[in-house]
């Protein structure tokens, strides 16, 4: 299992935080005055659980726990990552979870290898070549927010609103709601504007981390390497990606004999892993004109706060037919067979949709041997070194479709 952190405040120095502090300065200076629905701003200032998921996973997988040894779970040093892991383990094992699990806390800082924070070991992450989704979201903000800007400006004196400042005001609604249980910013926007707000994040995810991004596969390939190593029961000893070879080459920090693996990470790494696995059912292009019909990439469905990807290995005494026709004998002919099953937020990802060798199974599974054969090309397909450290130019959002950069131009 790889689990995203729970609900949170804005990251330190995030744009939303900077906006909130700047707005507070304008209010406290006395220059800005607000009336009507914005009157609460005259006295406003900026300040800002995974337990249930642990309980759920205990009911789903608690029978796999080996009480004779401690389970090794992994998280990072970032505060919300550490606390999310601790809350989850408390839900799974109880408040005395340290008796049953060791929590490996991996340094989350630039220049420290960490597969759970893939962007920090990818030089091009966050630069102009890899922010096509952010650029697309700005275009979309200019389409769905102008009416809100007009409403805000009519109620304000000494303060000029624009699309960007109104968007950050909208973003404060969910953050304040998490922190305080209520936010006056929420009632300032229409239902359609909240639909538009959700689509902003869909565009960001689509263009920055998924198949429309030149580093999409690279962001998650370190974690994919670790998943494959666990499935094939070997350590990682060659530094190919963000994986920490020092930790991943030792049984004490990278055990290969556990029936359960709990890892805690960020949205960009988890989305990057789905991309590195080659699950192109999530490669849908999202236009800047608004949500398309039959939209597949919806951030609140794929990776909300506390979202998670469970990867199950299922052992069967005989092969299981692709079609479940309700026959008395559920098995086919042959010896013991293992299958892999991807579950994203309690919903099966049908692997055969993207990985053709897996077949069109009713259950969405893939034979483990077939899956590993397909994934043997995952590292090469990610183009990790070129994607993360190559010198290439940015291309317009929508140009890329495979989670890697365009091939270098031949001289």
pLDDT in tens, 138-192: 999 999 999 999 999 999 999 999 999 999 999 989 888 876 778 899 999 999 9
pLDDT at 120 over 60: yes
Cα separation, 60 vs 38, whole angstroms = 47
Question: Residue 49's pLDDT is what?
Answer: 55
Residues ≥6 apart with Cβ < 8 Å to 45: 24, 27, 28
Q: How far apart are CA 74 and CA 82, in angstroms?
A: 9
List the end-to-end C-alpha distance of the chain, in Å, as a whole number. 45
Model confidence band, residue 306 (pLDDT cutoffs 50, 70, 90): confident
pTM as predicted = 0.89
User: Of 347, 355, 397, which Cα lies nearest the Cα of 206?
Assistant: 397
Work out the average pLDDT over 209-222.
97
Instruction: Tell me the pLDDT tens digit for each residue of 274-286.
Output: 999 999 999 999 9
Q: Which residue has the higher pLDDT, 59 or 312?
A: 312
Token pair for 251: 């049984």
For 16-21, what is the mean pLDDT?
Answer: 76
Return the structure tokens found at 58.
């205990």
Burial status of residue 24 (CB atoms within 10 A of its CB: 0-12, 13-18, 19 or more) = middle
Q: What's the length of the chain?
A: 411
Find out whether 92 and 58 touch, Cβ atoms under 8 Å. Answer: yes
Q: Which residues of 230-263 are buried (b: 16+ CB within 10 A; e: fewer)?
A: bbeeeebeeeebbbbbebbeeeeebbeebebbbb
Tell me what pLDDT residue 203 has: 96
Q: Where are the beta strands (DSSP E) in 156-300?
A: 156-157, 263-265
Q: Please give the pLDDT value at position 54.
A: 85
Using the predicted structure, report yes or no on whether residue 11 has a pLDDT greater than 70.
no
Looking at every residue in the chain, the average pLDDT score rounds to 91
Q: Which residues contact 181 (CB under 8 A, 6 or more apart)?
A: none
Distant-in-sequence, close-in-space partners of 201: CB < 8 Å, separation ≥ 6: 137, 299, 300
Residue 312, classed as helix, strand or coil, is strand
Q: In 3-state terms, what secondary structure has residue 344?
A: strand
Supply the pLDDT for residue 13. 46
Going by C-alpha positions, the residue among 343, 334, 344, 340 that lies closest to residue 355 is: 340
The pLDDT of residue 2 = 87
Q: Is 233 strand, coil or helix?
A: coil
Q: The tokens 């909240």 sit on which residue?
A: 194
Q: Using the Cα atoms of residue 307, residue 311, residue 316 and residue 319 in order, give the sign of their dihedral.
A: positive
């Amino acid at each position: 299992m790889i689990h995203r952190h729970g609900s949170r405040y804005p990251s330190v120095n995030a744009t939303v935080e900077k906006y909130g502090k700047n707005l507070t300065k304008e209010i406290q200076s006395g220059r800005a005055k607000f009336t009507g629905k914005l009157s609460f701003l005259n006295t406003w200032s900026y300040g800002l659980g995974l337990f249930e998921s642990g309980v759920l996973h205990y009911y789903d997988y608690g029978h796999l726990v080996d009480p004779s040894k401690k389970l090794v779970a992994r998280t990072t040093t970032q505060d919300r990552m550490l606390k999310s892991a601790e809350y989850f383990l408390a839900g799974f094992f109880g408040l005395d979870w340290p008796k049953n699990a060791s929590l490996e806390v991996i340094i989350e800082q630039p220049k420290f290898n960490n597969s759970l924070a893939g962007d920090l070991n990818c030089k091009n992450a966050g630069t102009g070549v890899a922010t096509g989704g952010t650029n697309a979201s700005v275009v979309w903000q200019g389409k769905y927010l102008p009416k809100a800007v007009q409403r805000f400006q009519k109620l304000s004196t000494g303060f000029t609103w624009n699309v960007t400042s109104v968007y950050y005001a909208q973003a404060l609604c969910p953050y304040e709601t998490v922190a305080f249980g209520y936010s006056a910013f929420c009632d300032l926007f229409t239902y359609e504007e909240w639909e538009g707000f959700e689509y902003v994040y869909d565009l960001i995810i689509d263009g920055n981390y998924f198949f429309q991004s030149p580093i999409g596969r690279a962001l998650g390939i370190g974690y994919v390497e670790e998943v494959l190593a666990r499935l094939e029961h070997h350590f990682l000893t060659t530094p190919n990606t963000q994986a920490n070879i020092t930790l991943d080459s030792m049984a004490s920090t990278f055990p290969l004999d556990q029936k359960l693996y709990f890892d805690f990470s960020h949205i960009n790494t988890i989305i990057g892993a789905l991309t590195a696995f080659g699950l192109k059912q999530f490669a849908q292009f999202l236009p800047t004109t608004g949500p398309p019909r039959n939209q597949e990439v919806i951030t609140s469905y794929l990776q909300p706060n506390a979202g998670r990807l469970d990867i199950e290995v299922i052992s069967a005494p005989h092969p299981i037919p692709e079609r479940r026709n309700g026959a008395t004998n559920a098995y086919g002919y042959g010896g013991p067979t293992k299958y892999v099953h991807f579950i994203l937020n309690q919903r099966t990802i049908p692997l055969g949709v993207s990985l053709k060798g897996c077949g069109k199974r009713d259950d969405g599974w893939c034979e483990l041997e077939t899956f590993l054969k397909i994934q043997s090309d995952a590292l090469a397909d990610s183009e990790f070194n070129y994607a993360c450290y190559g010198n290439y130019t940015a291309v317009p959002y929508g140009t890329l479709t495979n989670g890697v950069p365009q091939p270098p131009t031949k001289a």
